[in-house]
């Protein structure tokens, strides 16, 4: 493995996504100082990383390269709360603060100004690929930030997946939300079509095999349906509630910029209805269960 320019990082958020990410960093020889609000994740890492009690204590005090702190937190509210718990005041000049969760781009750019007032630099680097991608190190990482600082942290982030510098700070969070809007729309459209075919008498596995060699294919038909829906495991590792949060961010971005958003608005409505009907911890692929529950009970559409 090539030598990394950054050998020590702080990491806040040791949950479902943070867990495999931290393990990959530690395996690459990175000295990790970790913090999580919950005692369970802290205990799970006791023998692997240095666990600290407060967010401000994660900032590395030594190591090659600039101090780096990674946040893997659910949303902008939690990010701002963690910074308010002492992390912002604990940032030393030159620190690179990397938000790898799915936050709101406008709030990220505003937060970057507060971070800059401390002499530090904020970078947003949300990811796509779920828990399986985090475990395998195949995440797509959408990075927003200044060129020089992004170049410094790219080798470090490459331990976690495929790095793409997509623009200035806030650009990563914007693209992640838009990506999830597309993903959510694909899953709805694919599922409605597949359920219609199933009711007509087609085998879903046969449909998927044909579609995945045709123009109707998507991540939903190539990954979500065969791996999580057909086996009825519904365990992709990405929560439905988080999908709703992300697509609402994307819709807000579209509306703020005056972009067409009729389909986006309807997508948000349908996913919100599913979220209200399903369990709070439902996996996002369980929207297919919700669609099935609302299927028509009319007789075979082919009959007279």
Is 176 annotated as catalytic? Answer: yes
| Torsion sign across C-alpha atoms 249, 253, 255, 256 | positive
Those residues with Cβ within 8 angstroms of residue 296's Cβ, 6 or more apart along the chain or in another chain: 199
- Strand pairing report for 50-51 and 68-71: unpaired
From CA 155, how far away is CA 176, in angstroms rounded? 21
From CA 268, how far away is CA 280, in angstroms rounded? 17
Catalytic one of 54, 176, 224, 245: 176
Q: How far apart are the first and last CA of the chain?
A: 67
From CA 87, how far away is CA 10, in angstroms rounded? 11
Q: What share of the chain is helix, strand, coil (3-state, %, to 5)?
A: 50, 15, 35
- CB count within 10 Å of CB 66 equals 19
Task: Report whether 57 contacts 75 (CB < 8 A).
Answer: no
In Å, what is the CA distance from 235 to each residue of 53, 135, 247, 280? 31, 15, 20, 14
- Strand pairing report for 96-99 and 68-71: parallel
Q: Show which residues are catalytic.
A: 176
């Amino acid at each position: 493995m090539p030598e990394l320019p950054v050998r020590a990082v702080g990491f806040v958020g040791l949950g479902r996504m943070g867990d495999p990410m931290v393990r990959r960093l530690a395996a690459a020889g990175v000295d990790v100082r970790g913090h999580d609000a919950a005692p369970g994740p802290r205990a799970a890492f006791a023998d692997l990383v240095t666990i600290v009690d407060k967010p401000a204590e994660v900032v590395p005090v030594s190591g090659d390269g600039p101090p780096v702190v990674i946040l893997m937190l659910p949303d902008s509210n939690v990010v701002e709360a963690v910074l308010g718990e002492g992390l912002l005041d604990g940032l030393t000049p030159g620190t690179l603060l990397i938000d790898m969760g799915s936050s709101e781009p406008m709030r990220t750019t505003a937060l970057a100004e507060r971070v800059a007032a401390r002499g530090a630099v904020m970078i947003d680097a949300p990811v796509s690929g779920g828990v399986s991608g985090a475990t395998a190190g195949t995440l797509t990482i959408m990075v927003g930030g200044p060129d020089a600082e992004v170049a410094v942290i790219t080798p470090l982030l490459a331990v976690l997946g495929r790095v793409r510098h997509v623009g200035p700070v806030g650009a990563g969070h914007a693209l992640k939300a838009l990506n999830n809007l597309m993903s959510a729309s694909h899953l709805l459209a694919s599922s409605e079509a597949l359920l219609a075919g199933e009711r007509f008498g087609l085998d879903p596995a046969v449909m998927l095999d044909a579609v995945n060699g045709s123009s109707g294919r998507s991540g939903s038909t190539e990954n979500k349906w065969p791996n999580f829906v057909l086996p009825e495991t519904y365990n992709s590792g990405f929560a439905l509630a988080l999908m709703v949060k992300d697509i609402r961010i994307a819709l807000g971005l579209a509306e703020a910029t005056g972009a067409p958003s009729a389909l986006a608005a309807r997508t948000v409505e349908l996913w919100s209805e599913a979220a209200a009907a399903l369990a709070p911890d439902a996996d996002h692929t369980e929207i297919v269960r919700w669609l099935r529950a609302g299927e028509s009970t009319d007789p075979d559409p082919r009959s007279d």
